[in-house]
Amino acid sequence: MVLNVVVVGVGGQGLLLLSRLIGESVIASNTDINVSVAETHGLSQRGGSVIVHIRMGKEVFAPLIPRGEANIMLALEMLEAARYLDYLSRNAIVAVNDKVIRPIALKGSLPSKEELLSALKSKSSNVYVIKASETALALNAPLSANMALLGFIGYILEVKGIIDINMVKEIIKGVGRGRVREANLKLFNYGYSAARNLVRDDIINKLPY
């Protein structure tokens, strides 16, 4: 079986780094699992919409996740989470950053956070909002909000027996230096604790793999 993860947001939020670290963490922790990471759409240098497909399992034959088959969504921005909700499988786990970024080309008013959450919850009963950007800003590391989502999925993958959490922390130590490295680890721990407190193990155990 294959576990499917979509990572969504806008360019400049560190989605590709987040996705790469997830893949590296799985490979470093478990040599029996194959991982495919594929960016299919995005203007990463222009603040455009970005979606990355991550597939992990013993037999991964195709890089792209069909619509309706993503088991987990990590969203660094709420509008982009709503944009790609058709990728979600029934009762997928959704971790969404409590942040809305106005698209450059959008005219008129933005949907409210409540409206965006309602759209997500219409697709899945397992939607969790975390204050990744707010926490990163408080640590003077606004570009490290992605590490909170790494911590969130880190807990899930640890419960599934897919990764070694200590191995993940060692990989994180290779990203940045000094104050940035410290902030990355704090944000990782924040996301990990959020998942541990919010997501029941029985929900995680229903995931494939």
User: Is the predicted pLDDT of residue 108 greater than 90, yes or no?
Assistant: no
pLDDT averaged over every residue in the chain: 92
pLDDT at 46: 58
Task: Check residue 91 and give its pLDDT.
Answer: 87
The reported pLDDT for the residue numbered 138 is: 97
Higher pLDDT, 41 or 57: 57
Rounded Cα distance between 158 and 144, Å, is 22
H helix or E strand, kind and range, residue 157: helix 146-159
The third-level CATH classification (topology) of the domain covering 2-205 is Pyruvate-ferredoxin Oxidoreductase; domain 3 (3.40.920)
- pLDDT above 70: residue 42: no
| Predicted local distance difference test score (pLDDT) of residue 178 | 84
Least confident of 45-54, 75-84, 121-130, 159-168: 45-54
Predicted pLDDT at 136: 97
* 59 vs 189: which has the higher pLDDT: 189
DSSP codes joined into one string, 26-87 = HHHH-TT-EEEEEEEE--TTTT-EEEEEEEEES----SSPPTT-EEEEEESSHHHHHHTGGG
> Is residue 209 very low, low, confident or very high in pLDDT (cuts 50, 70, 90)?
confident
pLDDT at position 152 over 90: yes
Return the pLDDT at 43.
53
> What share of the chain in percent tops pLDDT 70?
96
Report the 10 Å Cβ neighbour count for 49.
Answer: 17
Ordered by start, the domain boundaries in the chain are 2-205
- Report d(CA 202, CA 204) in Å as an integer: 5
pLDDT value of position 64:
94
